Amino acid sequence: MIKRPPKYVMEWMSRTLAILYGIDEIIYSGKTKYQLVDIVRTRDYGLALILDGLLQSAEVDEYVYHESLVHPAMISHPNPRRVLIVGGGEGATAREVERYDVVEELEMVDLDGELIELVKKYLPWSKEGFSDPRLKLTIMEGREYLSKQPDGKYDVIIMDATDPAEFSPAIKLYTREFYQLAFRKLRDNGILVTQSSSPAHTLKLSLSILKTIGSVFPKSSIYSVYVKSFASIWSFSIGSKGPQPSTLSSEEVDRRLRERNVRGLRFYSGDVHEALFKLTEAILRNWRAEPVILTDEKPLTPDAIVDIFHPAPMEEHSN
């Protein structure tokens, strides 16, 4: 006899598409100053973090997302000694950066200190990232923090913020003005990488983020990976002052991983690096959208706006 999960979550992927998945246990449900937080045990994805009704990370494949976000940029830079993470509140992005012995200074800035304390308590994969003595954590809005740093400070900037949706505090972390700021804060050969939403469901948004980055950086590229718990292909966009990650061969990536003593990877490798870019290139040959440059005045695309109710914590919903 199959046990029916006591609750289901319906998550909107776009204006017209939603997915449904079962919740076996609600471990925590509440609000921080900035967002709704649910930490649940799902039947399909294991332990999962849900923010404002949208699944952000899950036990079954968080490493796929975080390794894909971090390593193409880190391995492409010739000497990534100073790294900034904007967002990344659950700690797994920091964990991946910390695999590099060459990293001397690692700063992380996140708006929601309450969320960080919750994930430290409830998400096992978060604890490792916060334990490295190189990590300097600041609770502040990311753009404000970056504006206070000296020009040419960082080798790599990693953006792990939520999507630029309506009413999101992250909305102006994806605009041309923000990328111009980040450009100034990067050293020669500096690289910025950001998550850039789902090309399967919000293609115009993904390509607009790429186009906006390309309007500032001399080199830009996009790559993607399938994330089971997101029920979608997920993209990442890079802006670079020098290195071009898409041109690295699998052999060169593996050589650099060995030289930099990067251990403990579960997904990323030289072969995966090549596949991330080649798969995306093949997909985008057949998918069409007209991207726009995102600005502080116009930071959204139509497909980033989903007309749904603002969810309440799960404990407030009936079965």
Within-domain flag for 252: yes
More confidently predicted of 115 and 306:
115
Q: How many independent structural domains does the chain possess?
A: 2
Within-domain flag for 316: no
* Residue 29 shares a structural domain with residue 81: no
* Residue 193 shares a structural domain with residue 297: yes
Residues taking part in catalysis: 160
Q: Give the pLDDT of residue 201.
A: 92
Question: In percent, how much of the chain has pLDDT > 90?
Answer: 83
Interval 262-300: pLDDT, tens: 999 999 999 999 999 999 999 999 998 999 999 999 998
Interval 228-271: pLDDT, tens: 999 999 999 999 999 999 999 999 999 999 999 999 999 999 99
| CATH number, position 286 | 3.40.50.150
More confidently predicted of 225 and 7:
225
* Residue located via tokens 């115009």: 204
| Residue numbers of the domain that contains 244 | 62-303
Question: In percent, how much of the chain has pLDDT > 70?
Answer: 94
* Residue 75 shares a structural domain with residue 48: no
Interval 155-191: pLDDT, tens: 999 999 988 877 788 999 999 999 999 999 999 999 9
For residue 101, pLDDT over 50 is answered with yes
